[in-house]
Amino acid sequence: MIKGDSSDYDYLAKWTKELKPQDFCLTLEIGVREGYSSNIIMKMLKDRNHFHIGVDPYGDLTYKHLDKQGVVDSKGETVFWKDFEGNWLMNEDGTPKIPTYPNKMKQNFLEDFKFHENFILYQLEDTEYFNAFARGIPIYKGGNKKIINTYDLVFFDGPHTTDKVMEEAMFFGPRSRIGSRFIFDDMHAYEMSDIAYALTAFGFKTLEIGNKKICLEKQT
């Protein structure tokens, strides 16, 4: 079953649907989780010549997902975690709850994605994806292979630390076109103003702001 764990999905649908038409449209989400946002993106572009890529390692990995993540012990390991709103993550018995992304989560939504024939999931961390496809990603369709290195829409919903989101934005910034849109989830969890400013170097300006999501568009 496809589930969502955020909000502003109406904004995501609107910003995706309003993408300027292209002969071919490539979109990507970092941090697919349970597939809800990727499903929205694909539905909004179902009548276009479109491929959508999901990037998420799953595998129960634990990693620093917030700038101010929680309580850290003397070894530098997090022992109590917070969610994106700053609330403590606790199990029913009062023990710390560690946010995980098991492979089972991936399998749950892939069954529902069988109708999206142009969906590709790369079970990779963001930096692994960057290293593998810095020169473009191969797209196979209609008996042909094309190397595409321009993204029409990127949805950032992976690690929510300023450093990681900045790294991701700097990878996709030069791999965009006029009209490309970058959408960031949980924008209050990190220094979104720093990221938006950095993207002005690639011609991006803020298009619209929701409660948790923000959309930037490349205008020059």
Strand order in the sheet with 181-184: 119-122, 50-55, 25-30, 153-156, 181-184, 214-218, 204-209
Provide the pLDDT for residue 62. Answer: 63
d(C-alpha 111, C-alpha 118), whole Å: 14
Provide the pLDDT for residue 71. Answer: 53
**pLDDT per residue as tens digits for the range 77-128:** 655 566 666 677 778 887 777 767 788 888 888 888 877 889 999 999 999 9
Q: CA–CA distance from 2 to each of 20, 38, 74, 106, 113 (Å)?
A: 27, 10, 39, 10, 9
pLDDT < 50 positions in the chain: 1-4
SS3 content of the chain, % helix, strand, coil (to 5): 30, 25, 45
Provide the pLDDT for residue 83. Answer: 66
CATH 3.65.10.10 fits 9-60+102-218, yes or no: no
Could you tell me if 44 and 17 are in contact, meaning their C-beta atoms sit under 8 angstroms apart? Answer: yes
Q: Give, for 26, the enclosing helix (H) or strand (E).
A: strand 25-30
d(C-alpha 166, C-alpha 157), whole Å: 12
How is residue 212 written in tokens?
Answer: 């948790």
Q: CA–CA distance from 220 to each of 17, 140, 160, 187, 202 (Å)?
A: 21, 30, 27, 23, 8
d(C-alpha 125, C-alpha 51), whole Å: 20
Provide the pLDDT for residue 124. Answer: 95
176 CB-contact burial (10 Å; exposed 0-12 / middle 13-18 / buried 19+): buried
HSE-CB of 17 using CA atoms within 13 angstroms: 10
Listed by start position, the domains of the chain span 9-60+102-218, 62-99
Q: CA–CA distance from 12 to each of 2, 67, 174, 179 (Å)?
A: 16, 24, 22, 16
Provide the pLDDT for residue 142. Answer: 87
